[in-house]
Structure formats: structure tokens, C-alpha cells
Structure 1
């Protein structure tokens, strides 16, 4: 790289970016958080398509720490919906498959020789047709918009995508996760670990498992340096490709309608995940140039994907030793010079399919090309001045000395780590119990246990999945109790031991749902002291009601208190706390378990350290409250009024597969029934009835009927028929 020495400015630029939260560990945390969100969704989603995040969000390149840089990097959130179809790359094999199974759909992908990187899909229709039909690229989008009122009302066509500016929770609800009113938490004030996502693009894709023939040059390409590494190269080839439903902008209308773009989203993700910190900084600066500097001169003809493609090519042409902090600006200049070379040739080769031109010439007229080249030449003629212009976009940090930048980067790292862990709790609260509904498909208890066990095994390899594992264990424990309950030869101790073991395993999952389900089994079984102890300790009436109704406010306040206390520490105390947090975060990245993290925080707290995140994490993971949910297969263990609610709801709506109860209402019902079974004094039962009535008066009107039902049943057991009749009318 023939550029002047920019080492001092490069090191300072790197320090500024780190102070803005653009560090390798935070990028990794963001990448893992995206994988976690979509991994959980795909694991529990029983639908034929897989959901995958792509682009800047999935790459972890949207991390910000101040409003100024946030505006530079704000972007769309790209989500692809992947259909797994059997695609043949060989016409002979395709025809053989058609002849063998004429009633099935068989897809043949043929590359478009005139438009490299695009292909056509031929399909033999299953409706007794012998003709080969070329599948239009808008087929799935058009069918969905026409057949689904929700999508037609909330989405619009945007190139190959269905674009929505709506909030994500309603979209997840439509996917089958009907969020409950007490655990769908508004995290807008607490989840600020990423830049603002302006909109969401949903793109339907078809996955190709094998490396496409038109990208065969990539496999045999001669490379001067050892990049990509052998392991990365192998993973790239194994990642296959996607067919995105969009044609070439330079093809004619009829050709455009039947073209599918060959995309390498997974391969690109793997490459970004292999970056070191300097490479991340370089790409972020290139994107900043594209977003903040280039548009003034050339509009939007140079895209973020342009910058990413240029950098991929530059990585092949440079040794690993070039990519270090003191060489950052020389790396940026090298990338800019390569872009200028490609622009002079008016041809930017796609990194995987060399023959595909990433420049869309019909949208890139000569005058715009000239202005773009002039800008790039000016940038390279005076890199020091260019660097100053780049620094001007980081107003909060650009004038700080290096030692203060280092301190700020540590503060930002800890704060952002806290916020990302809050965001992961958001996913758990949003999906949580509801994710398990998909595993209950009918009344076959043995079949449901098999499905739960299968999911449990898959969860073991997913990071930060222990809360979902606790929920799955709880489901299996209750179902196993139901099986043993019907086997008369089983002795009492075995049933009791089963319930207690599962109770212990599931206690950390939440404060209401899992424990009250175990208490239901114990009450059905007839356990005495154990059952009452669990029921009475699972919730504190006033405290739990407050945390349920104000959960998001409490979380926001805890985050604020934690970060403010840390920022106001004395320098000496903060140095000690930073060391503690570094240990915690390193262990957290290894263990990937919130409950292990809480124990570590507790130990440090007992040793006298501040670690204010302790109360935040306890509240998020151990203090969360869910409605107590049961499925039709579990109706046999429910108390009569709860079983009646389940039967009525399922009878009124055939699509209903569960019943959920307010945790305080259900807890009071269980406690009342325990006193009835154990012939307790009437005074205790009257007190519980009073608490039930007070609880009903405080909960939302739409769920009060279940409270009236519980009170009605309890009054009947007390032989207070007149009062019971009043609640029956209500």
C-alpha cells in the first residue's frame, strides 16, 4: 500500500471508534444476539420456512454509543424467509425425478448466460400438467399479499422484499406467538444497544444447498495471501446460496420477471464474523463515507454493499499483518483506491461471481461517475484532511485525549453489554411460555413428551437457551406426572419424587408459571406441606402485582440506576469495578447462561463490590412473571374451575390450544383448594376469598370472568350459595 505514514492518526481513529462502542467483543455480542433471536424462533416455529437475519444488523455492525454516530449507521433490518425446496442443478437428474414422481413439484435451476449471477427456475406443475413452467420471481410475495389480509394491510412491495414500518411484536404475534398482556414488555427505553432500525424488509428466498456452478471460479481462484483461511473457505463453500426473488435491473421486462438473483448472505455473514477489530473499523468507516460524505457528491449510486464488496477484494490482496490499529487509515485508503480502479473500468466484480457487475450502469450515468471519481481522488490526494472530515462525524469523542477515550470505551463496553443482555431477556419475555404452545398438538401426552425432548436436545447447543430449557423441562415434568398418575401400580414416593425433582429443575425459570404448574401436580397428588410451601412462597401478592403492571418501567429504572452509579464512581473505585466486570463478561461469553452469571454477580456482591447489574439480572431472569398456562392435554390435573375455563375456551374457538390464568388469581385458587383438602379453619379460607375479590378488582376487565369463576366455585365449596349465585350472574 503506497500511502503516507498515517499511524498516529490511525491509532487515534481506532480509539474514537472504540469509544463509540465499535469494538470486536460488542460486535460478537450483537452477532450472537441476532442468532439467538432467530434461532429460538426457528426452533419453536412449526412452519415450513426458516427465518434468518441478514445485513448490518446480523453482522453486528449497527452498534452505536451516541446519537451522532447513530444517525450515520441507522439502517433497515433485513429478514429473509427461507423455503427449503429440492433444487436440481442438472437437467438429466431433474427429468428423472419428474418421471419417477410426476405428482410432486421438481425445480430446475438454470443460470442465465446473458446476466451472470441470475438464474431461472423451471418447475413441473403438479396439477396433471406435463408442461414445464418458468416460476416468476414475484410468485410468493404476490400470493401472500393476495391471500393474507394481515400482510396486505401491513406490508408493501419494495424490490424483492415485503417492507414494513410496523413494530416487530405484532409481526411475531401473527407468526403464532400471541403475546400475553403481562409479559409483552415495552423495551423501547431499555433496548438501546443498537442503532435505530428504520424499517424491516422481509425477503422470500429459496435455499440452494450446493455451491452454484456460476461461482465455480471462486473455488479455483489463485490468491496471493492466506485469505480466506482454509477453514473459512470450507465454511463458505458449504454455506451454499440463496435465490432471491428479484431480476436484473438491466434485463427486459419479461426476462426480469422470471429471473432469480443468486445471493450469498450466509457466506458474507461468515466472512464478517471472521473480521478482526481493525477490519471492522475499516468497514464501518467505509460505510460512514458512503452515508455521510458521498451522497453530497454522487447521490446513492455507491451502496453499503458496494463498500463491502470492495473490502472483500482488498482482503484477498493484503496480508493479515496489514490489518492492525496503527494501519487503519492506510487500509481505508487502499479500499478507496480499489473502488476508484473499479469505477474507472465501470465494472465492480461481485466477490463470488466475478462476471457479475455490481454497478447498475443504467442508473449510473457518466456525469455521476465523473463526480464519484473526483471525490475519491480528492480523498486519496489528502488522506489527513479526509481523516479529519471522518472524525468530524464523531462529535462526542473527536477532541478527547487517548487516555480518556480508553476510559470511555471501557464504560461504553460495560453499558452496552448490560443493554444487550436486557435485549436477550426481551426475546425471552416476548416468546417465553408461548413458544412451547407449538409443541402441544392434541391430547397424546407421549407424543408431546417426545417433541419436548427433541426441542430440549436442540436447545442444548443454542447459546443463552437455559431459560427455555427450564420451561421445556417443566412441560415434560407435568406430562410425565400425568402418565404416572394413571398407572395405579406406581407407588406414592415415585410420584412425589418426580414432582419435586422437576420443581427444583424449573424454579429459576420464572416466579409464577413453572412453579405454579408444579404446585398443581402436587395438589392433585395430595402432597401437603410441600404444596402449601410452594404456593405461599411463589408470589408476594402486592410485590408481584406491582412488578407485573410496571415491568418495563422497573427495567428502565434499573438500567438507568446501574449505568449512572457506574459512571459516577471515583476513578480508583471504577478501575476495580472494571476489572470485576471484565471477569464477569469474559465468563458470560464462555458460559452463555444467565443463571450462572447471576451466581457470579451474587458472589462479587457478597465480597463488597458494587456490580449494580446484580439486581437488574435477578429481576430480568428470576423475577419475571408469566401467566400460568396449561394445554388441553393437561386438563386432567387442573382444578375444576380452571379445567372448565380450558374446555369453554377450546369449545368456543377451535384454534385455541391453551388456557392462561393470572398468576395471583391462580395462586389464590390453589391455596384455597389446599385448605379445603386439608380441612383448615374457615377463617383462613375467608381471608383467601377476600384476597381473590381484591385481586379481581385490580386486574383488567377482559380477564375478570376467570376470577368470578374461581370465586363462584370457592363459594360453592363453602356452601354459600346466595353469594355464589351473585358471581355466577357476573
Structure 2
């Protein structure tokens, strides 16, 4: 049943790598900034599937402020190098002092006794100590930097919730599984300070004898090396908790990764019991007294301290009983020790004796009969299948298929359509340093091994960038050094099934006067419907396609067919060769329809050209690139910059418009004027909405029509399109001004009559 809910070992692995791999690429692209650290169920791969009916998990993002602050542990002897590093650190210096009454919490003393300012954020000290409450303002600023001015139909709300800023994404098209409108995503943003020390309170954990050998010395060493963070939250029982900061261990995620699948299933079952049952008994004002975090540390203790139990599939029920019994013991004692700092009690005084008795009684029914778990809300859908004697294996396969489709579409539309991330390293002029940066990114993607999910998508985009950049550098500097790169990457991107990358490569074919090949590429693409989903409709489009896949899966009654589709999809995700199969997917089957939905060749995206690629494109596109403003928008660069959403020096054009343009130019250069004029008629027949790009308003279309008609001696039409372009965007940053002088001289009479 857990596997139907998308909790099979295979699916947990896929979810985890699919979620985390893009952030690995982010760090390759932007190694010099503080990236959010994503934690919680989704980052761990525990993302509920289509048939899950329980409470949805949120996303936890730790927003790091490493450069702005320099926190030093009090009471330890620093080495000469550490002292030098502290003195040279540009950040605001703070001294961490352990709160002896509340182990695991520190106070931050400001030795310089001066208020902190980060441009628009001002934090007053409290008796020379750095308070935690005002620090959350920085989380709101950085959260807004992530979302401000993005062109999607999403509005956000921000609520302070403990140490975090809870961010809710609202999309007008989104409805939950109950058909109600609500937030499409909830993310808790927690601002944290770097604490580059291992707390003395945690030294016992490093040396603690672990009789069953769980967590070997190598893992312990890695956990210690990851050091800590400080979260701006105090202990609920402290009268001055606004002055406390909680120690958070970055290596806890690594400890969680050591769980085998049965231990992971125990965690999932206990978490389901918590969310669907125990939480109902907790007071409304203190729903977090017993949390998923508590369950995680409970599992850690059970694994470390239990020797006479086998964490295996045949012993699963006994393992769950062990964990539930241990939870009862901790509740009875009103003390659940933190796994690394046992002196810290994860329960607070709000865990009253009466409440612990109530919770123990609620847990007892699962110890007496573990099958009571099936009656919980999470299993509503699966329970119905079981009662109808429906084969659960089919729904397990369907769950993986739907998950793959969701992730594939998300990667396609986010990385090829909505984000500036891959282009953020571009300068206005091509340099060897830029090319080397993207070569480093490509090498990093290739080195990711089996943890790379949808590696080919990221690799293809990087190769397209390297191809056009290298060619631009060659044309600008007459340097043959990078021509080898061009040849390798050109063939790869031309053979891809992603139209936007094929058109970037076709542009090089035109520049190299390989007109026949350019015409072939564009002609083949025109046989398809080159429709681009606008950014504002992307979210709804993905949701609708996932629903279509789900319906198709439900209509397939053959386990063999679902198994074949699942294996084929996972092979694609991990960039592996599909294993030979005796099963043949009929072209008109529902399985074939599923494969078509996620086929990259059936989705089209805007074609992007950068100013650094100016020497690799024809003059008509050069004119547009020359019109890109010198000053581009930076997101909150005053205090909390988010480079991945910075405006980049380039343009985006519709693939249909680029196809016709390259065909027109190729036939013109071949002096095949009959075919050129045929393409021109099709260009003139285009409507603005046919090739509209987000935030373009038709300027690109009118400018290209002006250029092509002028080149074909249709001066009056060219003048008309220039005027239409300038009416929409009357600015010197409009390339239409570049055509104006010549057209006015030749068509002055016509323009005066408009």
C-alpha cells in the first residue's frame, strides 16, 4: 500500500534526485552566492503521489546569511588560522554563548555594541545581544527576491510562523484534490546564520559507543564536518526566548540518508499516524509539540539502541511496534532527547501529563493491531482498491508513471521557458572566461553519476550555450581554438528533439552558408505545430497534462503495459539504455498516448539569443541584440541579491518566427527568389498573436517584417511595419529606429499619408 502512495524505494530515490539535481546545477552555475538549503520530506524524496489522501508536506528552505555575519563559538581555543579568518571576514561579528538552562540554544553577543544595518533592514541590539525576532525581516526580503517580477500568474502571501516565514503560492488555476481553491505550494523559509563550529555539547555524540555499529566512523566524520546553523527561534519555555538562537545540524540530512527502506517505512507510518490521528489530540495552539522532527529523532534512537531486531521486510510489523512502544516511553517520561544533543528535550512543558496519557492511549490501538493504520485518511483511496480486490501492483506502476510525467514536464517548462538561471553567467560580450564557466558546468553535470535525473535536458541546454558562444567567439576574434567545440555540440543539438535548441543550431548553419541543411531543419520543424505555452498558463498546462496521464493510466488494464512504460520512462530519466523488452507498445494505445504527452519534441519554447552571441547570428537578429538596454534589472541587489532571477542581456523570439526568418534568409542568399517570396507571403500573413512572446507586444514581428520586406524591395510595407513597431514601443531601444532612416528616404510620400 505504501508503494501505491509513491513510497516505493525506487520512487523515493527518483523523487529525491529529481528534486535535488537542479539545485546541484544551480550551485555549479553560481558557486559564489549563498544558496538556500532545502530540507524536509520533499527534499528527502518523500513526496506523496496521486493516490495519497493525507496532509500534504510543505517545502522547507533554509535561507543562509553566511557572508553578512561571522559567528564565533565562545569558550574554545581558536587556531592562528581561524583567528586570522575571523579578522578578515567582512561580516558582522557575533559571539555565541551557550544557554546553560536550555541546552542546544545560544545567545549571540555583539562585542562591538553597534546596531546592524543591511541597507533597508535595521536591527537594534538588546543589552548588547542580537535578537532573533527582527532577523526574520531578512527572510521576507530574500523570499520576495525569489519571486518578485516573475512573469507567472502566481501571487504570494507571507506569514511569520516560529522561526520561519511561511510563503504561500496562489495560482488562479490551482485546485486541490477536494476541488477547492487554495495555495498550490507552501514553503517555510527559515533564515539562518552560519555557525562554523561543532558545539561542545555535541562532543559526546562523536564519541558515543554505538553497539550495533549503525553510523560508522566515516559518516560521523562527515556529519561533524558539515558543522551547524543558527535558527532565529528560542525555546518555548524561556521567558526571554526572543534572545535565543537554536543550533541546527546540517549533517542531520546525511544521518537520515543512512536509513534503509524498512527504517524509512517505519518513519513514514509513524508520520502518517501523527498527521492523521495524533495531531487531532494536540491543542490548536500547540500543534507542533509532537512533530515530524520528533519522529525522525525517535527513529534515530530506535536504530542506534536496538541490537536484537532485524530491520527487514519480514520483520516490518515488529519494527513499527518497537518505534511506537518507544514513543509511548518518551511520552510517559515527557522527554524525547535530541539525537545529537541528548540534554535537549524535544518536548516542551506544553506536553502535559494529561496530554501524554491521551497520546499513549491513541498509540496503543496501533500496537494492538497495526492494520488500524489502513483506516486513516491517507489510505482512503488505496483502501477502496483493496476492498474491491483490485490489483494494487497496477496502481503502483501508475503512481511512478504519473510522478515521472510531472517531473519531466516541470523540468522542461521551467528550465527551457521560465527561468533566466542558465543564462545568468552571460556578459554582454563573449569571452573565454564565460565559455570556461559553461564547460565547468557541463563537466559537473556529467560527473553527477547515478544521482542525475533528467541529466540529458540540462546537458543539452548547456551544450547549446557552449556551441553558440564558441562560434560567436570564433567569429569575433577569428580564433579557430573553439571550432572543435562548435562541431561537436552542433551535431548534438541538431539531433536533439527540442525545437528551440535546433533553431539556435540552425542559425549557425545559416551563418556557415550551409543553407540546404538550415532549410531542412526549419522545414521539418514547420511540419509541427510550433505553439508555445505562455508563461502565465504553464502551471495550468502541466496540471492538466498530469491529469490526462492519470486518466490514461487508470484506463490501462494491463500490468505488463504499465510496467513497460514505467521502465522506459525511468531509463529516460536516468539517461540509461532501455532494457530489451518483449512487449511492444501499440502506436494507437493509451500507453503510446502517455509517451506522447512527455515527448520533448511535442513541446516548444521561445528561442533565446544573448548579446554575447551577437557574432553568431544574422544582422536582423543583431539589430535586436544591439537594442538590449545597457542597464538591466537586478533583484534586490541592495541587500539580498538573487542572481538567478536577474534580467539577462538577451532576447527571446517565437520559434515559428525564427523558422520563417531563417528560411527567408537562406533562400535569399541562394538567390532562390521564388521560394524567398513564398516565405515572405507567409511571414506577412502572420498575426501578432501567432508569434507573440511574453512582454514583447509584437515588436519583434513587426521589425522582422520590416527587414524582410525592405530586403525584398517592398518599401511601403516595410515602412508600415516600422511605424507599427514604433507605435508599440517608441524608444531608441527599439531596433526599428535602425531601419527608419533608409525607409524614410525611399518612402517619404507613403509615410506622410499614414
Q: Same fold (TM over 0.5)?
A: yes
The alpha carbon displacement at 1:247 in A equals 1.8
Deviation at 1:396, TM superposition (A): 3.4
1:230 to partner: Cα distance = 4.5
Calculate the TM-score normalised by the size of structure 2.
0.78
Whole-Å separation in 2 of the counterparts to 1:521 and 1:569: 45
Give the direction of change, closer, same or farther, for the CA distance of 1:370–1:104 in structure 2 (3 Å limit).
Answer: closer
Count of aligned pairs: 672
1:107 Cα deviation (Å)? Answer: 4.7
- Report the secondary structure of 1:349's partner residue: coil
Unpaired stretches in structure 1, ≥5 consecutive residues: 1-15, 171-185
Equivalent in the alignment of 1:302: 290
| Contact 1:106 1:124 survives alignment (8 Å) | yes
Task: Tell me by how many angstroms 1:721 deviates.
Answer: 1.2
Q: Does the CA contact (< 8 Å) of 1:605 and 1:611 recur in 2?
A: no
Match of 2:494 in 1: 507
Is 1:694 the counterpart of 2:694 in the alignment? no
Match of 2:62 among 54, 74, 80: 80
The C-alpha deviation readout for 1:627-681, integer Å capped at 9, x for no partner, is: 1111111223333332222222325856551111111112211211112222112
Tell me the SS of whatever aligns to 1:199. strand
- In the TM superposition, what whole-angstrom CA distance separates every residue of 1:372-393 from its partner, at most 9, and x where no partner exists? 344345655xx12x63364354
- For 2:381, what is the secondary structure of its paired residue? coil
Q: Secondary structure at the match of 1:453?
A: helix
Alignment-derived partner of residue 336 in structure 2: 348
1:466 aligned onto 2:461: no
Within 5 A, what are the aligned runs for 1:489-638?
Answer: 499-507=486-494, 509-537=496-524, 539-540=525-526, 543-545=529-531, 567-569=554-556, 574-577=558-561, 580-581=564-565, 583-584=567-568, 587=571, 592-593=574-575, 596=576, 605=584, 612=591, 616=595, 619-638=598-617
Paired residue for 2:5, among 20, 32, 42? 20
CA drift at 1:209: 4.9
Aligned partner (choices 129, 148, 158) of residue 161 of structure 2: 158
Which residue of 1 is the match for residue 653 of structure 2? 661
Distance 2:90 2:196 in 1: 23
* Partner Cα separation in structure 2 for residue 274 and residue 102 of structure 1: 35
Unaligned runs of 5+ in 2: 117-124, 149-155, 634-646, 725-754
One of 363, 372, 377 as aligned partner of 2:359: 372
- 8 Å contact from structure 1 (residues 33, 424) kept in 2: no
Structure 1 residues 36 and 487: CA distance shift in structure 2, 3 A:
closer
Classify the secondary structure of the residue corresponding to 1:58: coil
Matched, 1:677 2:669: yes
Counterparts of 1:283-298 in structure 2, within 5 Å, are 283-298=267-282
Contact persistence 1:665–1:692 (CA under 8 A): no
C-alpha distance in 2, partners of 1:122/1:359? Answer: 27
**Quick one: distance in 1 between partners of 2:297 and 2:650?**
49
Residue in 2 that maps onto 1:33: 18
Structure 2 residue corresponding to 1:251, chosen from 238, 247, 251: 238
Higher helix share: 1
Q: Contact conserved, 1:627 with 1:660, CA < 8 A, in 2?
A: yes
Q: Secondary structure at the match of 1:337?
A: helix
Aligned to 1:714: 708
Alignment deviations for residues 162-205 of structure 1 (CA, whole Å, 9 cap, x no partner): 1111159x9xxxxxxxxxxxxxxx89899x9xx99752111122
**Alpha carbons of structure 1 residues 586 and 443: separation in structure 2 relative to 1, 3 Å:** closer
How far does the alpha carbon of each residue in 1:565-598 deviate from its partner, in whole angstroms, 9 at most, with x for none? 555455xxx3543553565467557xx12xx56x
Distance 1:426 1:580 in 2: 23
Aligned to 2:49: 64
Deviation at 1:709, TM superposition (A): 0.4
Q: Taking structure 1 as reference, are residues 508 and 408 closer, same or farther at Cα in structure 2, changes over 3 Å only? A: farther
Are 1:110 and 1:121, in contact at CA under 8 Å, matched by a contact in 2?
A: yes
Change in Cα spacing, 1:373 to 1:560, as seen in structure 2 (3 Å) is: closer
- How far did 1:249 drift? 1.9
Which structure has more relative contact order (CA 8 Å, sep 6+)? It is 1
2:252 counterpart residue number = 268
Distance 1:65 1:489 in 2: 54
Change (3 A) 1:609 1:325: farther
Question: What is residue 637 of structure 2 aligned with on the other side?
Answer: none
* Counterpart-to-counterpart distance in 1, 2:212 and 2:142: 52
Aligned to 1:141: 136
Contact 2:709-2:715 at 8 Å conserved across structures = yes
Asked whether the 8 Å contact 1:244–1:260 carries over to 2, the reply is: yes
Distance 1:65 1:460 in 2: 32
Q: Does 1:482 align with 2:481?
A: no
* Conservation of the 8 A alpha-carbon contact between 1:512 and 1:627: no
**Deviations 1:484-533 (CA, angstroms, capped at 9, x unpaired):** 22455869xx96x7644322122355533222222222322323322322
CA distance in 2, matches of 1:667, 1:601: 38
Partner of 2:399: 415
Shift of residue 478, structure 1, vs aligned partner? 1.5
Deviates more, 1:365-374 or 1:605-614: 605-614
Q: Are 1:650 and 2:634 matched, yes or no?
A: no
**Alignment partners' CA distance in 1, 2:407 and 2:589:** 22
Looking at structure 2, the residues matched to 225 and 610 of structure 1 have their Cα atoms a distance apart, in angstroms, of: 53
Residue 347 of structure 1 contacts residue 359 of structure 1 at CA under 8 Å; is this kept in 2? Answer: yes
- Equivalent positions of 1:430-445 (< 5 A) are 430-432=414-416, 434-445=420-431
SS across alignment from 1:332: helix
Query: Structure 1's 128 and 419: CA in aligned 2 closer, same or farther, altered over 3 A?
Result: closer
Q: Hey, what does 1:10 align to over in structure 2?
A: none
SS in 1 for 2:686: helix
Q: Within 2, Cα distance between the matches of 1:546 and 1:633?
A: 25
- State the match for 2:640 in structure 1: none
How many Å apart are 1:610 and its aligned residue?
6.5
**What is the TM-score with the length of structure 1 in the denominator?**
0.80
1:281 alignment partner, SS class: helix
Q: Which moved more, 1:610-619 or 1:115-124?
A: 610-619
